[in-house]
Homo-oligomer: A and B are copies of this chain.
Amino acid sequence: MEKQTRRRGRPPKEGGGFSETRELLLQAGVEVLTEKGFSSAGIDEILRRVGVPKGSFYHFFGSKEAFGTELLTRYAAYFARKLDRFLLDTTMQPLQRLQAFIDGARNGMARYEYKRGCLVGNMGQEMGALPESFRGELREVFQDWQDRVAHCLGEAKELGEIPENSDCHQLAAVFWIGWEGAVLRTKLEGAPDALDLFTDFFFAALRR
């Protein structure tokens, strides 16, 4: 697909410290890992996809584990930005914002025929086979995403969209618990029914 006419030797210093190859590896990495998880994904497959030799991989990343860590960090940050883009959009009502984020994510899954899931969910389920170092980061990512949703639910409460006595942090936790379950089922079914079922249930329960 890509050119394999990669030039050898030190590259010219175009722009800031930014490597084309490194970027391609990370991009292919997230594709493969969201589909198959960390353990099942092979470095070689990623390399073949972008036509890069092994030497380059281990030039840029110290190990598969380090590669995974960076992938996870970027993925988490990418979704944090995406969450903010929706959840802080004051042109909509708070619950509308959350629904808009969900719709976006749903479309994202559809775009890849429901083959790709959530990197964080995948790695979470894999913890039994993963370096223990991932556990802390995975938990932090969920906590971060959860806080952003909780904040949005807080605004919903202020505006009377949800009951006064709602515990926004608990609700946000439940959202992500169910969301990951729904992504799992969606991947299995190859259709977004689980996503819709869960979100409808969640919103109905939210509004009491």
Contact = CB atoms under 8 A, between A and B. Distances in A.
B180 A185 contact: yes
A128 B174 contact: no
B35 A187 contact: no
Given A122-B125, A179-B181, A205-B204, A189 B139 contact: yes
- Taken together, the copies of this chain in the complex come to 2
Contacts of A187: 124-125, 127-128
A36 to B, nearest CB: 4
Contact of A184 (B35, B124, B129, B174): B124
Contact of A178 (B39, B135, B171, B181): B181
Contacts of A179: 181
B177 A185 contact: yes
Nearest to A205: B205
A67 interface: no
A126 interface: yes
Interface in A110-160: 115-117, 121-122, 124-129, 135, 138-139, 142
A194 B115 CA distance: 26
Contact of A177 (B117, B171, B194): B194
Interface in A180-197: 180-182, 184-185, 187-189, 194, 197
Contacts of A36: 39, 126, 128-129
A199 B140 CA distance: 23
A88 interface: no
A201 B194 contact: no
7 contacts: A35-B129, A40-B128, A116-B128, A125-B184, A174-B201, A181-B181, A205-B205
List of 8 A-B pairs having minimum Cβ-Cβ separation, nearest first: A181-B181, A40-B129, A205-B205, A35-B128, A36-B129, A39-B40, A124-B188, A36-B128
